[in-house]
Amino acid sequence: MDYPEIIAYLNDDCTPQEKEAVEQWRSANADNERMFNNIRQVWEASIQKVESENPDIGQAWKQVRSQTTGKQIKKINWSRRISGIAAVLLLGLVAYLSQPWWIPVKMEEVITQNEGIPTQVSLPDGSSVWLNKHSKLVFPKKFKGRERVVELSGEAFFDVQRNESKPFSIKTAEAQVKVLGTSFDVMAYPDSSIVRVQVNSGRVALSSIEAEQDSLILSKGEEGFYEKNERRLEKANILQANRIAWKTRILEFNNTSIAEAIPLIQDIYQVRLELANIDIGNCRFSATFDDEPLENILETMSTLFEIKTAQKQSNSYTLSGQGCPK
């Protein structure tokens, strides 16, 4: 008996003969019956209960209003229409004269070194960017034209103001990311062979600089790569937790060993953690820390694995104890 027959049976979408066949198979032995029940349980549990879902309607209305009734639209007065057109033409001329093509738009540049906390940058359209270490962001003092374009080298988390008529795009040396309004992380360090994008909310399109039409659409919770050498776009199968912890300060451990967790904790809390006994690194735990003080994380590990923590200096701790077998 295979899944399609069992599902057809569960859906009550089969002939009497097929139904009979499944029932015979079920009663043939206890293992079959148990398997059938297990599949039925999964099948039944796979319906989402959406009746109780009430998304924030005020927030939703704000989104819609900003693109409909909240939009600043000048009402055209018919009697003034002609002079209006003349004024637009004149304005166009003035704009053309005052902004000749050979004078570039003024650009701003933010460069980070080895700072412990992300550097926040506010863009002229109200969007926010948090720059990770050793990164560079270049953007105009004012977004002109039909697109909002910034340039990035390194890693940054973007929280983009939605504006359907003026898409936002991030250019890196090899790849580009296009969005309407959303938040996501872009990693494009020059010495890495990939450009990586992880989406926190909304949808974004990732493509190479040359072939914008061949884009990879990424939704919330998804991660995609552009492989520079092979010029390949790919979606990551497994989402790596804690990738954007440098910005969110949310650490998620899921059966993670202490040895794996330590570099992350050190990076975010700017501390050093040393193990007196290497076996402590083998201990595995699952927990989520949402921007909690370091003491809470250490205390959790202490309670779980009978670890003693001793503070050596202001930013250095030693963990000691039996540890766990490999």
Partner 1 sequence: MEEPEKLIKAIQLGDEKAFEKLFYEHYHKLYRFCRQYIFEKEIAEELVQDVFIYIWENRRSLIISRSLSAYLHTAVKNRALNYLKSKYAREKPQPLEEGLITSLSETEESSLDQHQLHQLVQQGIQQLPERCRIIFTLSRQGGLTYDEIAEELSISKESVKSQIKIALQKLRAYLKEYWEIWLIFFLNN
Q: Is 265:246 a contact under the CB 8 Å cutoff? A: no
Tell me how crowded residue 58 is: count the other CB atoms within 10 A of its CB. Answer: 7
The reply to whether 277 sits near partner 1 by the rule CB under 8 A is: no
Regarding 12 and contact with partner 1 (CB under 8 A), the answer is no
Which residues neighbour 34 within 8 Å (Cβ) at sequence distance 6 or greater?
A: none
Site for partner 1 in 285-304 (CB under 8 A): 285-286, 304
Give 61 or 96: the residue with its C-beta nearer to partner 1: 61
Shortest Å distance, C-beta 55 to partner 1: 5
Two structure tokens written together for 323? 């540890």
305/317 with CB nearer partner 1: 305
284 is a contact residue toward partner 1 (CB under 8 A): yes
CB within 8 A of 317, min separation 6: which ones? 271, 272, 273, 274, 298, 309, 310, 311
| CA 250 to chain CA centroid, nearest Å | 13
Residue with smaller CB distance to partner 1, 255 or 314: 255
Q: Footprint of partner 1 on residues 74-113 (CB under 8 A)?
A: none
Sign of CA dihedral 191, 195, 199, 205: positive
* 230 lines the binding site for partner 1 (CB under 8 A): no
Residues 181-200 as x/- pattern, contact with partner 1 by CB under 8 A? --------------------
CA dihedral 155, 161, 162, 165 (to 10 degrees): -90
Q: Is 61 in the site for partner 1 (CB under 8 A)?
A: yes
The CA distance from 113 to 271, in Å, is 18
27 binds partner 1 (CB under 8 A): no
Q: Does 72 bind partner 1 (CB under 8 A)?
A: no
Closest of 20, 24, 16, 18 to residue 5, by C-alpha: 18
CA distances to 17, 28, 39, 40, 43 from 14, in Å: 8, 20, 17, 16, 17
Cα radius of gyration rounded to whole Å, the chain: 28
Q: How far is the CB of 297 from partner 1 (least distance, A)?
A: 17
Does 220 participate in binding partner 1 (rule CB under 8 A)? Answer: yes
Site for partner 1 in 135-174 (CB under 8 A): 164
Find the length of the chain.
326
Q: How far is the CB of 314 from partner 1 (least distance, A)?
A: 31
- Total residues at the site for partner 1 (CB under 8 A)? 53
Q: Which residues share a beta bridge with 320?
A: 308
The site for partner 1 (CB under 8 A) is made up of: 2-4, 7, 13, 31, 34-35, 37-39, 41-43, 45-51, 53-55, 57, 60-61, 63-65, 67-69, 164, 201-203, 216-217, 219-221, 235, 237, 254-255, 283-286, 304-305, 324
